[in-house]
Chain A
Amino acid sequence: MHIPDGFLDAKTALATAGLSAAGLGTALRQARLHMPRRSVPMMGLAAAFVFVAQMLNFPVAAGTSGHLVGAVLVAVLLGPAAAVIVISAVLIVQCLLFADGGLSALGANIFNMALAGSVSGYAVYAALRRVFPGPRGRLAAVAFASWCATVLAAVCCAGELAWSGTAPWAAVMPAMTGVHMLIGLGEAVITTMVVAALDRAGFADGQAGLSAGRGGLLVYGVLVALGLALFVRPFASPWPDGLEKTAAALGLGPR
């Protein structure tokens, strides 16, 4: 899902860079104020771990293979602020060292995967945890959050490409979302299996003392909402939805 250089126009590149800088800045500030100092090497090692884990392939079907993305995995294990920093670090190294993901699209990639993917995945996980306690509930929450994060990141990516005029929304949105609804299933299964393996090994979440920094969720939420309002809202349907249409047909609509 890494957007290369050349696919985003200036306004999209600048808007996403601004949103990502604000999100990463918030996460770094929280880390400095609330996290223990021993969490600094942990975040560095976690970023290296995510990079390496993305290279572990598992067979899907007919000779194709998939790999872990790890955005929700890190968010569940280390907390949202650490996840924003870790996933951003992964994306920066992939861009500058491996030319994977464009320099001008770095802001967009950080927005899609570190902010929209990781943090919203964490929000879904945290909300579901309240409803489903216990170890099985945890695994179910991890699975659903991983799927949601993958799909939301794909929707943001499609919105940015469409807003840039690179591809028409009507084509890019179903293509990206459809593919990632399937990829998300793989991500959900593999993330859940990793969390289950860690639970069996006695690794509780936030074990590295990084669970601090949940307070920034509101800030990230506002940033993601702002991004969605920019890239995705222009493509919302101007036609009345089912309820509005029925209401109008029955004469119940607003006069």
Chain B
Amino acid sequence: MSLLHGLLEHHCRVDSPVHRLAAGPKLAAGLCVVVAALVFPYAKVWLALTALLLLAAGLARLPWGFLTKRLLFLEPFVLGVAALSLLRPHGAAVFASLVAKSSVCLLAMILLSATTPFADILAALGRAGLPSLMVTVLALMHRYLFVLLDESERMSLARSSRTFSRGRARSWRSTADIAGGLFVRSSLRAERVYDAMCARGWR
């Protein structure tokens, strides 16, 4: 089992008032929080939004450890981009406000993804006008993401149990071979998936 399996889906299976909300309104609420955090750049607004989000997280009975872990995992990306603002005059204040803003938005997105099954989000996006071809591609991608993840882990494990050299060139070569092999397997699987879809009456 990969890291991602554990991180994601099982928090969606809990029952709580937040989980029971329909995906469409929840997506809209997430968008509203993000827009509000961006349009009103005041510390008071950010604190209020954070309190609101933490209340929702509490209602959803999300483990605090999970929330912190996700935030800490994603924060380096925010800090990395925000560090560029330190180069301008009065950079420190801009830096602090960027990090605060981004963290509020991150919290909102983590909460949304942790309490809503992706299939429901997709259905809501489809109703909101995302073309059906895109919805199908996204659904297939999500369905096979974890299958391919396991497949790549098996291939990496098999590779590392057979090779003993640690040279950099060799390891680049074998990473490339794994990626190539994974692509071949993905496209062969796509053929089988297409046959199976047709057999089930997909038009």
Partners in one complex: yes
Chain A: residues with CB nearer than 8 A to chain B? Answer: 2-7, 10, 24-25, 28, 31-32, 37-38, 40-49, 51-53, 55-59, 68, 77, 85-86, 88-90, 92-93, 95-100, 102-104, 161, 166-168, 171-172, 175-176, 189-190, 193-194, 196-198, 201, 203, 207-208
Q: Are B141 and A31 in contact (CB under 8 A)?
A: no
Q: Are A96 and B39 in contact (CB under 8 A)?
A: no
Q: Are A49 and B186 in contact (CB under 8 A)?
A: yes
Q: Are A44 and B137 in contact (CB under 8 A)?
A: yes
Known: A41-B190, A95-B109, A96-B121. A52 touches B148 (CB 8 A): yes
Closest Cβ–Cβ distance, residue B61 to chain A (whole Å): 19
Proximity string of chain B (35-64) to chain A, C-beta cutoff 8 Å, 1 when within and 0 when not? 101110000000000000000000000000
Closest Cβ–Cβ distance, residue A61 to chain B (whole Å): 8
Residues of A with C-beta under 8 A to B136 = 40, 44
Closest Cβ–Cβ distance, residue B88 to chain A (whole Å): 5
Q: Are B194 and A41 in contact (CB under 8 A)?
A: yes
Q: How far is the CA of A40 from the CA of B184 in the complex (A)?
A: 16
- B18 interface residue, CB < 8 Å from A? no
Q: From the candidates B84, B112, B180, B194, name the one contacting A161 in the complex (CB within 8 A).
A: B84
Residues of B with C-beta under 8 A to A196 = 176
Q: How far is the CA of A203 from the CA of B94 in the complex (A)?
A: 50
- B128 interface residue, CB < 8 Å from A? no
Known: A86-B137, A172-B84. 16 other contacts (CB 8 A): A2-B77, A5-B109, A6-B37, A6-B102, A6-B105, A7-B82, A7-B102, A52-B148, A89-B134, A89-B138, A93-B145, A103-B105, A166-B94, A166-B98, A171-B84, A193-B177
Q: Are A47 and B34 in contact (CB under 8 A)?
A: no
Residues of B with C-beta under 8 A to A6 = 37-38, 78, 98, 101-102, 104-105
Q: How far is the CA of A32 from the CA of B172 in the complex (A)?
A: 37
Q: Is the interface of B mostly helix, strand, loop or mixed?
A: helix
Chain B: residues with CB nearer than 8 A to chain A? Answer: 8, 30-31, 34-35, 37-39, 70, 74, 77-78, 81-82, 84-85, 87-88, 94, 98, 101-102, 104-106, 109-110, 112-113, 118, 121, 131, 133-134, 136-145, 147-149, 151-152, 156, 168, 171-173, 175-184, 186-187, 189-191, 193-194, 197
Sample of 9 A–B contacts (CB below 8 Å): A6-B98, A7-B82, A24-B134, A41-B194, A44-B138, A51-B141, A96-B112, A172-B84, A190-B179
